[in-house]
A and B are shown apart, each in its own frame.
Chain A
Amino acid sequence: MGVWIMAGVTFREAVRKKVLWTALAVGFLFLALFGTGLHYQVKDLARANPVIRRQVPNGILMVGLYAVDLLAMVITVLASADTLSGEIASGTIQAVATKPVMRWEVLLGKWLGFVGMMTVYIVVMVGGLTSVAYLLSGATALHLVRGAFLIWLESVVLLDVSLLCGATFSTLTNGVLVLGLYALAFLGGWIEQVGAVTHSPRAVEVGIIASIIMPSESLWRRAAFEMQAPLVGALNISPFSNASVPSLAMIAYSTIYLTVALVLALRSFSARDL
Chain B
Amino acid sequence: MPSPESLASSSPAIQTRGLRKQFGGKVAVKSLTLDISRGEVFGFLGPNGAGKSTSVKMLLGLVTPTGGKASVLGFPAGSIEARKKTGFLPEHFRFYDWLTSAELLRLHGRLYGMRDVQLRKRVPDLLEMVGLAAHRDNRLRDFSKGMMQRVGLAQALLNEPDLIILDEPTSGLDPGGRRLVRDIIRTQRDRGATVFLNSHLLSEVEITCDRVAFIKHGEVLEIRRLAGSVENETAVCVQARKFGPEILAGLGHWASGIQSGDQQITFTVASMEALPIILRYLVSHGVDVYEVTPQRLSLEELFLQIVGEDGGL
Contacts and interface: CB of A to CB of B under 8 A. Distances in A.
A101 B110 CA distance: 10
Contacts of B94: 90-92, 95
Nearest to A272: B64
B1 to A, nearest CB: 26
B16 interface: no
B107 interface: yes
A91 B90 contact: yes
A105 B188 CA distance: 30
Nearest to A90: B94
Q: Which of A16, A90, A91, A98 counts the most B-chain CB atoms under 10 A from its CB?
A: A98
B92 interface: yes
A274 B61 CA distance: 9
Interface stretch (B40-48, B81-89, B284-292): B81-89
Contacts of A16: 98
Contact of B111 (A5, A94, A271): A5
A102 B60 CA distance: 13
B95 A95 contact: yes
Nearest to B78: A98
Contacts of A205: none
Interface string A149-173: 0000000000000000000000000
B65 to A, nearest CB: 10
Contacts of B80: 100-102
B101 to A, nearest CB: 13
A198 B113 CA distance: 62
B96 A92 contact: yes
A90 B57 CA distance: 15
Contact of B98 (A13, A91, A100): A13
B62 interface: yes
B147 to A, nearest CB: 15
A70 interface: no
B111 A101 contact: yes
Interface residues of B, number: 29
Given A13-B96, A91-B90, A98-B88, A271 B110 contact: no
Interface string B119-162: 00000000000000000000000000000000010010000000
B254 interface: no
A169 B64 CA distance: 19
A273 B63 contact: yes
Contacts of A97: 61-62
Contacts of B243: none
A47 interface: no
Interface string A82-107: 00000000111011111111100000
Contacts of B62: 94, 97-98, 273-274
A107 B187 CA distance: 36
B90 A274 contact: no
Contacts of A90: 94
A204 B108 CA distance: 52
B91 interface: yes
Nearest to B64: A273
A94 B107 CA distance: 14
Contacts of B113: 1, 100
Interface string B36-78: 0000000000000000000001001111100000000000000
B57 A273 contact: yes
A1 B112 CA distance: 10
A274 to B, nearest CB: 4
B96 A98 contact: no
A100 B57 contact: no
B108 A271 contact: no
Contact of B83 (A9, A91, A99, A271): A99
Given A90-B94, A91-B91, A96 B63 contact: no
A102 B155 CA distance: 18
Given A273-B63, A274-B63, A99 B112 contact: yes
A98 B61 contact: yes
Interface in A3-24: 5, 9, 13, 16-17
Interface in A64-91: 90-91
A53 B294 CA distance: 103
Contacts of B91: 91
A100 B114 CA distance: 11
A95 B93 CA distance: 8
Contacts of B93: 95
A17 B112 CA distance: 25
Interface of B: 23, 57, 60-64, 80-81, 83-84, 86, 88, 90-96, 98, 107-108, 110-113, 152, 155
Given A95-B108, A99-B108, A100-B111, 7 more contacts: A2-B111, A13-B96, A16-B98, A17-B98, A95-B93, A98-B86, A101-B111
* Leading 10 A-B pairs by shortest Cβ distance: A99-B111, A273-B63, A16-B98, A100-B84, A100-B83, A274-B62, A98-B88, A94-B90, A98-B60, A100-B80
5 contacts: A2-B111, A9-B96, A92-B96, A273-B57, A273-B64
